[in-house]
A and B are shown apart, each in its own frame.
Chain A
């Protein structure tokens, strides 16, 4: 079964750091681009960051650029999001998501999503 499981969410103070992880199983992880999408409580979806299968292409939303870093460890079938200088507006449920097709060099829809991990930034 194809599965994504996020972890690492917590209650943190503004200005602090947090690292999210996403463990993948049931598919050849290193063949697929991966993304982070967040959803603030009661709000819509916001794309946060994405990384190509080779880590050669990375993108960020303007709202997190310079503060968040996406990475992957294909040997561990894992995706990460290092979040620094956290702000109250970063409070959200963070999902990792897999794209549909392998080895793509262009954008693609997200066919598998994890259940999410909650990040709360508050003093």
Chain B
């Protein structure tokens, strides 16, 4: 199984500042046939289901604000929120969909400093 490890477990950032969350996979999730990384990022607010933010490691889902961006390749990935807004307080998860079981990271709780 591919193990996904996020860092940090929690993060406090001031409004308007940059937030960075890291995700590391235990093996490469680069899909050779399309040269894309099978890595997604989700946002989950209390009492709500997860919401897809980013897929293929760097493609923003329709309707997601452009302050959210994803980067990385192979085994190391990053979710960046360029200017933190109050509504971004949530838990963020990475997920690999390269091979089953489609494992998630343990989550990173983002708060306002």
Contact = CB atoms under 8 A, between A and B. Distances in A.
A114 interface: yes
A45 B50 contact: yes
A106 interface: yes
A110 B52 CA distance: 7
A110 B40 CA distance: 9
Interface of B is mostly: loop
Given A107-B97, A108-B97, A113 B102 contact: no
Interface string B37-59: 01010101000011110011000
B102 A47 contact: yes
Given A107-B97, A109-B55, A110-B40, A46 B104 contact: yes
Interface residues of A, number: 23
Interface residues of B, number: 28
Interface in A48-69: 50, 59-62
Among B1, B33, B95: residue with most chain A CB under 10 A: B95
Interface of B: 1, 31, 33, 38, 40, 42, 44, 49-52, 55-56, 61, 91, 93, 95, 97-107
6 contacts: A44-B93, A45-B93, A47-B100, A47-B101, A107-B98, A110-B50
Interface of A: 35, 37, 44-47, 50, 59-62, 95, 100, 106-111, 113-116
